[in-house]
Amino acid sequence: MRSASSASLRSGLAIAALGVLGCGGADPGGMTGEAGRWGFAGTGGSRGGGRGGAGGSAVAGSGGQAGTTGGAGTGGAGAAPTCGKEDCGTDCTIPALPAFSALTANDKLPDPFMTIAGTRIASRSEWQCRRAEISAQIQNYEAGQKNPKDPGAVTATVSGKTLTVNVLGKSFTVSITLPRGDGPFPAIIGLDGMSIPVSGSLDSLGVAQINFDTNKMGNQSGSRGTGFFYDVNGDKSVGALMAWAWGVSRVIDALEVTPDAKIDPKRIGITGCSRNGKGALAVGAYDERFKLVIPQESGSGGSGNWRVSQWMLSQGQSTQTLSEITGENVWFRSNFSQFGNSVNKLPFDHHALEGLVAPRALLVIENNILWLGPQSSWSGANAARGVWQALAVTDRMGYSLTTEHGHCSFPSSQQAEVTAYVQKFLVGGGTANTNIMRNDPGVQYNASQWVNWTVPTLQ
């Protein structure tokens, strides 16, 4: 048994000029980062990339040694280095956000490239602070604050398959299943277990699995504000999805200081299905240390967009809407219900939530079940894809919707897509196509109905 501690930099809204500091990868094997560019590790290894240049992330290394723990190889796509923190936008200035009564209506999916100040970003280096604005908006109006208190120094111990995480004077546990070998291993955290196949996607690729109990962190079946998150943070207005996101971030903190767990904290993915798919998207969106995010059948409140779901209902299609979902459960912050009849007043939609993952890897797995809002999620995916397009990394965003099947019963037709993403963005060395946008022919996306902005060419 081994114990260690680390004080990480946390989310916050510090005052600074609009722009980002360099945030290159810390692992060996790369050259110095090019200013203002997003860099990506090569296919020869999983942890390459050099020091970040001024205003940008590291470019890929040019001579690393191949292998799952080697330096970066030449070209290709691997694990995208970021600043290595939970939130890389803590130096960004966030303008004051208006009250609900001061918000203006917009029937279109809001422009993810338009700043709160009313100017469009023009460079890749500006995306980090625009991302911080979107994150602040969603926390303020929909999800609740992720870090009501500074978690401080997280400590941890590992015994057998159990990792005990100590934070703010209390502890919770997660279970870890390791593949064969010595590690450290890449890992996927499953909210309440894995819904994607373990044998086809994880075990055979040497990926560890971590099981996270959502209800113990933020109970979703009882009264609002119960569970570990609320016990230590106290803010009961925060939605359960954000409580889970906070808890999973503390797991990464723990893995960073507990090498005996045999998990590589720089190669972590997140997944979940249905309500846990909503949670997986939230977890991956709000922690930039995740290299791969796979929300499965998350529907409205996940990959679905509130505006499109509301329109679907107006057309006689029985799908979940904002007003229904806030009456059903405590997944979102306590006053989110005020948007129930005014979804067009939201200054964001879930295409922007998906965009928070960029330039990291996102694979959205959906099922053509009407209640899940397939047209809503497909429309949102097409709009969200513009962020990866602007950053010139469209191979890092995928969407797969298949013909209706049992909810959360993973179909074999999506196996190759999941394997490709896990191989390329967690394990390293994958060469399969990940530039995937697949849906049932009957599910339509009307771009002119939902988007009145263009995708910029960011410099």
Enumerate the β-bridge partners of residue 3. Answer: 157
- The answer to whether the CB of 68 falls within 8 A of the CB of 79 is no
Amino acid occupying residue 434: T
Both ends of the chain: CA-CA distance in Å?
Answer: 49
Amino acid occupying residue 348: F
Cα 323 to Cα 249: distance, rounded to the nearest angstrom: 29
Per-position DSSP letters for 157-199, written without gaps between them: EEETTEEEEEETTEEEEEEEE--SSS--EEEEEEETS--S-HH
Annotation says 274 is catalytic:
yes
Amino acid occupying residue 36: G
User: 């969603």: which residue's tokens?
Assistant: 138
Annotated catalytic residue: which of 274, 298, 300, 376? 274
Annotation says 46 is catalytic:
no
Cα 282 to Cα 426: distance, rounded to the nearest angstrom: 19
Q: 292: part of which helix (H) or strand (E)?
A: strand 290-296
Cα 208 to Cα 125: distance, rounded to the nearest angstrom: 33
Question: Comparing C-alpha atoms, which of 149, 176, 171, 146 is closest to residue 161?
Answer: 176
Question: Comparing C-alpha atoms, which of 353, 182, 157, 185 is closest to residue 269?
Answer: 185
Burial class (CB in 10 A: 0-12, 13-18, 19+), 166: middle
Cα 165 to Cα 182: distance, rounded to the nearest angstrom: 22
Residue 126 φ then ψ, to 5°? -80, -15
Maximum CA extent, the chain:
59
Cα 219 to Cα 229: distance, rounded to the nearest angstrom: 9
- Catalytic center residues: 274, 407
